[in-house]
Amino acid sequence: MRVVVQRCSHAKVTVEKKVIGEIADGLCLLVGFTKEDTVQNIEKMVQKIIKIRIFPDENGIMNKSVLDIHGSILSISQFTLYADTTKGNRPSYIKALNGKEAIKLYDLFNEKLKQHIKVETGIFGADMQVSLTNMGPTTILLEM
C-alpha cells in the first residue's frame, strides 16, 4: 500500500465538471494498493495518516496532526502509484492490485478513516481532476 500525503489548505476533485469532493485545511491522499496488501496494512496506514505530525504548531514547527487541527481528508484512488518504468518508456501496472479487488480495500480504507475524521473521496476508476493548494509544500510518501 502506498499513500502520497499532501498537506493542503484546500483540495477538490472534479468528475465531468462536477465537484465530487472538497476540503479546506487537511490532507489530500493519493492511495494505491498492491496484491500483498491486507486489512492490517490498512489499519496501520490509517493510524499513521491521522497521527503524522506535519502541521505547524504556534512556533511554526511541524508538530500537529490533522486531528489536532480538526482538519479533513480528501482521499483519491491512484493505481499509477505502482507504475514500474524499469523496462522501456511505457509504465507497467502489473504490481497494482486489479480494480475489482482494489475498490474493496479502498472503500475499507476510507471507512476506517471516517471512524476518526471527515473524509471526502473521488469516484474509484473515474477520470478525475484533482486540484489542491499544497501548504509548504509538504508531501510525504508512506508505504506499508
Active-site residues: which are they?
78-80
How is residue 95 annotated by DSSP? T
Q: Would you state the torsion angle of the CA atoms of residues 123, 139, 49, 34, taken in this order, to the nearest 10 degrees?
A: 60
Structural Rg of the chain based on CA atoms: 15
Count of H helices and E strands in the chain?
Answer: 2, 8
123, with CB counted inside 10 A (0-12, 13-18, 19+), is middle
